[in-house]
Chains A and B, each alone.
Chain A
Amino acid sequence: MTTITTREPVDDQAVGAKKSGGFTASAANYIDERTSISGAVKELGRKIFPDHWSFLLGEVALYSFVIILLSGSFLTFFYQASMAEVIYEGSYAPLKGIPMSVAMSSTMDISFDIRGGLLMRQVHHWAALLFVAAIGLHMLRIYFTGAFRKPRELNWVIGFILFILAMAEGFTGYSLPDDLLSGNGLRIIDGLIKGIPVVGTWISFLLFGGEFPGTDIVGRLYSLHILLLPAIIVALIAMHLLFVVVHKHTQYPAAGHTNQNVVGYPVLPVYAAKAGGFFFIVFGVVMLIASLFTINPIWNYGPYDPSPVSAGTQPDWYIGFADGAMRLIPSGWEFVWLDHTYSLNILVVLVVVGLFIVTVMIYPFIEAWITGDKREHHVLDRPRNAPTRTAIGAAGVTFYASLWSAASSDIMATHFHLTMEGVIHTLQVTTLLGPFLAFFIAKRVCLALQKKDREIVLHGYESGRIVRLPGGEFVEVHQPVDEYERWKLVSYNDFKPLMLRPNAQGKIGPAEKVRAGLSRWFFEDRITPVSQTEVNQAHGDHPAEITNK
């Protein structure tokens, strides 16, 4: 913008623009006089974004969503969300003459009669798988670096809701072709809903417009899939990004990085080129996968029929953890009491998965309560520098991974020649005990890495060079770490366990006791950052460093 006005300031802007530039300048002027967009350019055009590969995960999620919107819009022009029965007369010979729903038949036409239709279907499906995966990895990055701390707790919640909505989009979309697998997925949902006490039977009845499967569900899921859910997702993404602008992006600890600045490249031109280019790379990779690898070959499954199903059926990956949780319930978890059926084999899954999800959502508030930390945090934690948080994350990942792999229990059993029972029992054990083991290992690894960092700061790297001192003593020369690298290793938050103090009435409330217990659990094994005094002392101990070079 400055190029337009700097040459010669003229009172009349229109005249100035005409003089200083050609079409671009007058077009910019035209738009600005009607939108005052120059303000937005001034505000955002040179906004700084820090660089790190892990910051790209959120971008991948955003870009896959754009890809989903583009390919999905194409699909809506051909897909028909009707469960009316037709006889298939399309190009795919093996299914010719077979009765199926219009939904299935139009999906078959997209795949076999419209040029590029299969490609767009596969782009849509692969991008959807990537979308949920990228959100998941993005959330892990946020979690393990503590980017959810004040002031970003609410944005964590928004992102979390987006994760749930992405899975809902995935499931509704998976159901639309009305093929055998998607129908079975709906059958499982129907069974789950019926297991809910009091209202389950009626919710299922209303959802399916009568008895399962009915002729309404595909149309209803279609409304959700292409209208309601995307609208909410777009609105939440807008909020999510608005918050990123308001908070400014976090950055990793490094020399020159402080809690009061943000260091990186400006939107125009570097960030626009890199982020814009990255969109095309993500799109290109999805396109390449879609042109080379088949996904969801509904023509192999055939139309939905409540009777047949093949072995080795798998949901899309992101539903796996819930499906796996259902498989891990031991036999017999159901009882009748006062003339009503309590299906614990379903309720326990809903409650445990629900609690897990809610815990993830409110984690930022739990940690903030334990630490009592009211400061804004814009410099990220290296995962090792928050050992208990990292260990909790490792436990959560292990729990999720156990449930998730249980969704493939039959495939593991057949591939590795194991018994079905053995696989399930093993996964039941890893689901219950694995998180504790993962917590312990992760925490010890973090503490060990912190100790290693201390060692490097105080004594430098081992150079492998052995030197003989005049007195005859052999020492290994330690290569001191430079002050920029050192700053990365020493600049982290340090917390002490909470000391309980009585309040004004001289009492200690139960909530405070819980908090103190959690605080001890979080911070009792802590490695403090290296202080200046320690550095000075350490240098005195190592004359070799000084003589080196």
Chain B
Amino acid sequence: MAKDDNGAEDVTAADSPGAQLATSAASTAVVTRDGLVNPGFPPHRPRITDLDRKEERKAERAVYTLFYVSIVGSVFAIAAYMAFPIVAEDPGSVRLNNLFIGLGLSLALLAIGIGAVHWGKALMSDHEGVDERHPVRGTEPVRARAVEIFQQANEESGFGRRTLIRNSLIGALVVFPLPAVVLFRGLGPMDEDPVALLHETLWKKGVRLTMDPSGTPIKAADVTLGSSFHVIPEGLSEMGHGRLEEKAKAAVLLIRMDPRDLTEAEDRKSWSYDGIVAYSKICTHVGCPVALYEQQTHHLLCPCHQSQFDVENHCKVIFGPAKRALPQLPIAVDAEGYLIAQSDFTEPVGPSFWERA
């Protein structure tokens, strides 16, 4: 008998070629001379179904009953399909349909499964079998023959000898997939430059700030102290093509605070209007909408990775993985009292990218 670490002497005599390597200098395995000996298989213990005819019959009954139960389950599922139709605009009917078809199928499947396993465990022979293992590597003659075949093929083809043929073939095989790589350039539009696109949004001088999603323009007077609005540029809600792409860059959060709470840089003093500030809603980390505004602390929170921005202080990052402040949209009020943009954002919005700086 052998043990896994070849502790017993006789194992080295076994057919595993690895066994001899165990003692080579490279391995740090300890080969024990004094190990215990594998006692062999313990005596077989018969099951209750082997000893008691009544138990055996009971198990048999359980197995075929389960298989019949499975049929009942399948039929029930079909019946439930018909008996619990989905009624338009009634979510409860969907729930019942889902539940009863599902329960029928569960019963059908579980009964087959439990029945088969019970059959295997309680009734089928429980005498364990033993298979011999052989080393995974091929036997020496087979390996020798494989080497011979390669040598013969090399001889007959001249693969090793005719180096010009061989090397030019390798070259051709390396180059031939390249056109396929080039073809994938077509995944993106040919005539657009992503870097330029990332630098511009729909906002420009005079574009009104409108409500998301209705597109109603917002009067400065309607923005009460402490309130916040989800804002899109005028015209975006009517766009057909490219609406979501533009919205993904142009979404803005409008907040009115007590002007005394705002700490504004000198060059940005003119970007707000009477305590109303507008900031890009797209997180500078990986681009989730920074949608949660905490009125008391004037903090904005990104729900994806918990970056927090301080509205009082130009939306600088106060916590979380984002690095840059949310870009500010310079705003003003037009003659009719509606809020408008003074210009586009002065820097790209959203996540960082290589060419951004």
Give A contacts to B, CB under 8 Å. 46-48, 91-93, 111-116, 118-119, 122, 150-151, 184, 187-188, 190-192, 194-202, 204-214, 216, 220, 246-248, 253, 255-266, 269-271, 273-274, 276-285, 287-288, 290-292, 304-313, 323, 326-334, 336, 339-341, 343, 345-346, 371-379, 409-410, 420-421, 424, 483-484, 486-487, 490-498, 501, 519, 523, 528-533, 535
Contacts and interface: CB of A to CB of B under 8 A. Distances in A.
Nearest to B292: A311
A195 B352 contact: yes
A12 B305 CA distance: 75
Interface of B: 1-7, 11, 14-16, 18-19, 21-22, 24-30, 32, 34-42, 81, 85-86, 88-91, 94, 97-103, 105-121, 124-126, 128-133, 135-136, 184-185, 187-189, 192, 194-195, 197-198, 212-213, 230, 232, 242, 244-245, 247-249, 251, 281-283, 285-289, 291-292, 301, 303-308, 317-324, 350-357
Given A201-B195, A213-B244, A280-B112, A497 B354 contact: no
B176 to A, nearest CB: 21
B352 A343 contact: yes
A373 B27 contact: yes
Contact of A345 (B37, B39, B285): B285
Nearest to B198: A201
Contacts of B305: 323, 326-327
B349 to A, nearest CB: 11
A127 B285 CA distance: 33
Contact of B109 (A191, A283, A308): A283
The 6 A-B residue pairs whose C-beta atoms are closest, nearest first, are: A291-B102, A191-B286, A277-B116, A280-B113, A273-B120, A284-B110
Given A47-B131, A523-B28, A258 B101 contact: no
9 contacts: A48-B131, A201-B353, A287-B106, A307-B232, A310-B291, A330-B321, A341-B352, A492-B4, A529-B36
B194 to A, nearest CB: 4
Given A326-B286, A343-B323, 19 more contacts: A91-B94, A119-B105, A273-B119, A277-B114, A282-B113, A292-B99, A309-B291, A326-B305, A332-B317, A334-B352, A373-B27, A375-B16, A377-B4, A409-B306, A410-B306, A491-B5, A491-B38, A495-B29, A529-B32
A410 B320 CA distance: 12
Nearest to B303: A311
A280 B133 contact: no
Given A111-B94, A118-B94, A211 B101 contact: no
A184 to B, nearest CB: 6
B22 to A, nearest CB: 5
A374 B304 contact: no
B356 A188 contact: no
Given A269-B124, A280-B113, A340-B355, A331 B323 contact: yes
Contacts of B107: 284
B251 A307 contact: yes
B118 to A, nearest CB: 8
Given A258-B3, A494-B29, A288 B106 contact: yes
A339 B107 CA distance: 64
B238 to A, nearest CB: 12
Contacts of B88: 91, 113
Contacts of B129: 46, 48, 263-266
Nearest to A257: B38
B357 A336 contact: yes
Given A116-B97, A306-B251, A262 B286 contact: no
A374 B21 contact: yes
Given A285-B110, A410-B306, A333 B86 contact: no
Contacts of A263: 41, 128-130
B41 A256 contact: yes
B268 to A, nearest CB: 20
Contact of B351 (A114, A191, A198, A211): A191
B281 to A, nearest CB: 6
Contact of B245 (A214, A305, A531, A533): A214
Contact of A375 (B29, B105, B251, B307): B29
A212 B198 CA distance: 10
A119 B80 CA distance: 13
Nearest to A92: B91
A394 B354 CA distance: 38
B28 A194 contact: no
A291 B124 contact: no
A313 to B, nearest CB: 6
Contacts of B136: 151, 246-247, 376
B2 to A, nearest CB: 4
A119 B6 contact: no
Given A273-B117, A529-B7, A198 B101 contact: no
Contacts of A212: 245, 248, 287
A135 B306 CA distance: 30
A274 B116 contact: yes
Contacts of B4: 253, 258-259, 377-379, 491-493
Contacts of A208: 188
B109 A531 contact: no
Contacts of A373: 22, 27-29
A205 B57 CA distance: 68
Contacts of B320: 327, 331, 424
A279 B124 CA distance: 19
Contacts of B5: 491-494, 529
A528 B86 CA distance: 67
B117 A374 contact: no
Contacts of B356: 341
A259 B357 contact: no
B248 A211 contact: yes
Contacts of B194: 201-202, 204-205, 211
A210 B190 CA distance: 9
